[in-house]
Amino acid sequence: MRKYRPPLTENEKKELERLSKLNFDGWSESDVREEFIVPLLILLGYRKNMDYSVSREESYKLNPLFIQLGRDRIKLDYICSVRKQKFWIIEAKPGGHRIDNKIPPLSEEDIAQAHFYSLHPSVDTPYFVVTNGWYIHLYDREAVNEGLTPLLAFKHSDLPSEFMKLDAIIGATQLLCGLKQRLLKSAEMTLSAEVHLDRLDEFVQAIKMSMNKIRPMVLENFRSNAKVQEATRTEVVDSMLNTAPLDLIVSSVFMASNSRGFMRASSDVLARRLISSPQSIQHLFMTNLLIEQTRPVRIPYYYNALEFLIRLQLLDPTFTHQGQTIQSIIENWVEMCLFHFWSRKDLRYMWLAEGLIGRLAIRLVYLAPQVRSAIISKTQSQIYFAPEEEVAWMGPSPARNVIDFVEHVITVTLANFVDKYMSDGTIKETLIKEELSRLAKLVDTIEQQDDYKKIRSELGPSWGELRFYDSTNVQFDVLSSGICDILSDHPDILNNLSDTIKKRIALQSRIGIVNYAKECLSILGDKYSAESYEGLDVHDYFNPDKNPYSLLSEQ
C-alpha cells in the first residue's frame, strides 16, 4: 500500500525556500491564507476542482447543543479532499507581532477550535493543521492529548528540511496509503480483544460486504478518472501532432500499436497539416510513409499508414505523389500488404522475420524463470512508482509488460536484421534465408516443449498477452486482418480496388486466417464467393517461397 513520492523539483525547492523566508509580522489571517497556505497546498498536491481538491471558506450549521458558543455556524478556511472525500482541514491564524523578537506561538484556543471543526459530523476529518505562518502544526484528531501534542510541528523557516515529513502524512500522493495503514492498525487493536476466533471470520465477512457497498463509488471514480486521463493524453498527443515535424511523426505515431479511434483522429490532424504544407515537405513525408527507402517497421505500421492514406483521400481526392493519385497509392499499398510484400523483398523478409522473432520472444518470457521474475518485479515497481490515477487507467500488469517486452525485442531485432542484411542497398538473400531458417528451427524446437503451454496456463489470466504472437505468420494473418478491418469500414474504397485484390480477400476468407475478410466479402457481393477457394492448404498461404499471386489461379 506504499506509494512513491517523486523527489522535489528545483522549482519546488525554490518555492519552499521562498516560503521559509517570509516575515509574517503584522499579517492578517487572510494574508496567511493567500500568501502562505495557498502555495503550501499546491506543493502538497492540492488544487481546486481536481481529484486532490481544496475547498475554501465552507460553512456548516452547528448542532443546537453548541449554540452556547455564540454562533450557529462555523466557517472553515480550507478542507482538503480526495475525490470529494474530506480528509484534513487547515486553519489559518494571523501572523501577529513579534515582541522582543519572539515569534507569536499558536494558542491552545487556536488548536482547540481546529480540533472542534474536524469533529463536526459534516466535516469529520482525521487530520487537522493549524498555522499562523510562523509555525505549522499537524494533528491526528484521534490522538490529541491533554498537552495538545502535535503529530508534527516545525517552524516555517524549517520548511525546506521538514516539508517531506508533512507530505508523507497529508501529501496528495501519500494520504490514502497512510490512512489505510491506520485503519489496519485500528482493526488489529480492536480485534486483538476478541475471545472467539469465529468473530474474526465474521468481521472479515462484514468487511467484504462493506467493500461491495462502495464498489459502485470506486467504479464511478474509475470512470471519471479515465475521462480525465484520456483527455490529458489527447491534449499531449494533439500538441505533438500539431507541432512536431511531419517527417519525425512517421517514425513515432505510425510505428506504435494504436487503437483505430486514435489513428483516425491522428490521421485527420496529420492529413490536414500535410495538405497545407509546402510540396517539399509533402514529398519527404510521403517518401518516408511509403517506405521508399528500406527501414525497419513492424506490422502495425502498415494498417496505421492505410488509415492515414484513406483519410488523406477523403480530405483531398486530388492529392498526388510522384505522379501517382492518392487512389492509386491506396490500392498499391493494400495490394502490397495483402500479398505479403511479394513486390518488395526487403519488406517481405522483415514480415517473415517479425513473426519468428515474436514467437521466439513470447516463449522466452514464459519459459525463462529469470524473465518472468523480471516481468513481476517491473509490474510491482510500476504500481509503486506510477501515479495512482495512471495505474487505475491503464494500469501495469504482467500481460502489458509481456507485450512491451516482446515489442521491444521485435523492434530492436528487426533493426539489427535490416542493418546486417540490407544496409548497403542490397538484399543478402542467401544469408537472410539462412538466418530465418535458423530462427524457425529454434522456434520449432521450443514449441515441442509441453512446459510452454502448461506454464502459460498456470500463470493465470493476468499473464494473458493480447497479441497473436503464437500464430503470427503461421496460422493467423495479423497484417491482412488489420487491412481488412479498415477496408470493411470504407465500402467505396473497397469496391474500387482491383479484381486481384478482391479475389485475395475471398481466398483469405475461405481459409479463415484473416479477421474481417468475411465482412469485406459481404460488401463485395456474391461475385467473390469464398467457396471457390475450398481445399487450400494454409501452409501454402504462409509459404515464404511461394508466389502468393499463384494461389488465386491454383484453385
Distance CA 253, CA 242 (A): 12
Joined together, the cell numbers standing for residue 501 give: 485484390
Which CATH class, in words, describes the domain spanning 10-180? Answer: alpha beta
Strand partners, 59: 75
Predicted model pTM: 0.78
Angstrom distance (rounded) from CA 92 to CA 129: 9
End-to-end CA distance of the chain: 62
Residue 464 pLDDT greater than 80, yes or no: no
Which parts of 88-174 fold into alpha helices (H)?
A: 108-119, 159-170
Task: Provide the pLDDT confidence category of residue 64 given band limits of 50, 70 and 90.
Answer: low
Tally the C-alpha atoms within 13 A of residue 307's C-alpha that lie toward its C-beta.
26
CA–CA distance, 519 with 524 (Å, rounded to integer): 9
Question: What pLDDT, on a 0 to 100 scale, did the predictor assign at position 66?
Answer: 54
**What is the pLDDT, as a whole number, of residue 511?**
85
Q: How confident is the model at residue 365 (pLDDT cuts 50, 70, 90)?
A: confident
The band of 13, judged by pLDDT with boundaries at 50, 70 and 90, is very high
Mapped onto helix, strand or coil, the DSSP state of residue 448 is coil
Judged by DSSP in three states, 92 sits in: strand
Cα(4)–Cα(177) distance, rounded to whole angstroms? 10
Closest by CA to 34, choosing from 77, 72, 88, 83, is 77
Query: For 55, what's the count of Cα atoms within 13 Å in the CB-facing half-sphere?
Result: 18
CB-CB contact of 357 with 410 (8 Å) = yes
What percentage of residues in the chain have a pLDDT greater than 70? 95
- Here the contacts of 357-360 (C-beta below 8 Å, separation 24 or greater) are 357/409, 357/410, 357/413, 357/414, 357/439, 358/406, 358/410, 358/467, 358/469, 358/472, 359/443, 359/447, 359/469, 359/470, 359/472, 359/474, 360/439, 360/442, 360/443, 360/446
Give the pairing type, strands 85-92 and 52-61.
Answer: unpaired
Which among 142, 139, 122 is positioned nearest to 190, based on CA atoms? 142
- The CB-side HSE value for 440 (13 A sphere, CA atoms) comes to 13
Question: How confident is residue 259, by pLDDT bands cut at 50, 70 and 90?
Answer: confident
Does 9 or 262 have the greater pLDDT score? 9
Per-residue pLDDT reduced to its tens digit, 109-121: 999 999 988 988 8
Out of 156-160, 340-344, 361-365, least confident range: 361-365
Task: Note the pLDDT tens digit of each residue in 79-107.
Answer: 999 988 999 999 999 998 888 788 899 99
Which residues are CB-contacts of 229 (< 8 A; sequence separation ≥ 6)?
389, 390, 393, 394
Ranges of each domain in the chain? 10-180, 219-339, 478-554
